Amino acid sequence: MIVEVGGIGVTINGLKLESLAARLIGGGAGCFIPELALSVLKRGLQEKIFMQLPDALDLLVVCVEAGLGWDSGMRRVSE
């Protein structure tokens, strides 16, 4: 698909160095920016899970020791 878009751009604008450089920079940014954004979101989510996991496990232990089953305890923790 990138080749098709580049081909259309060459037909419209001609083969100029500025337009070729703009296509290469735009294509490179289009490939790397989504990956960078996902890695930032993933790191934030992992940190959030890491910080909340001990509290969730403590609450699960309390629920199970109080007589709730595993599924009821998990449901209570998720609330």
CA distance 44 to 30: 22
CA distance 61 to 79: 15
Q: For residue 28, what pLDDT is reported?
A: 79
Dihedral sign computed on CA atoms, order 25, 31, 32, 38: positive
Q: Is the pLDDT of residue 75 over 60?
A: yes
Amino acid letter, 37: A
Stretch 6-28: mean pLDDT, rounded?
A: 69
Global confidence as pTM:
0.54
Q: Is the pLDDT of residue 61 over 90?
A: yes
Q: Is the pLDDT of residue 1 over 50?
A: no
Q: For residue 25, what pLDDT is reported?
A: 81
In angstroms, how far apart are the furthest CA atoms of the chain? 75
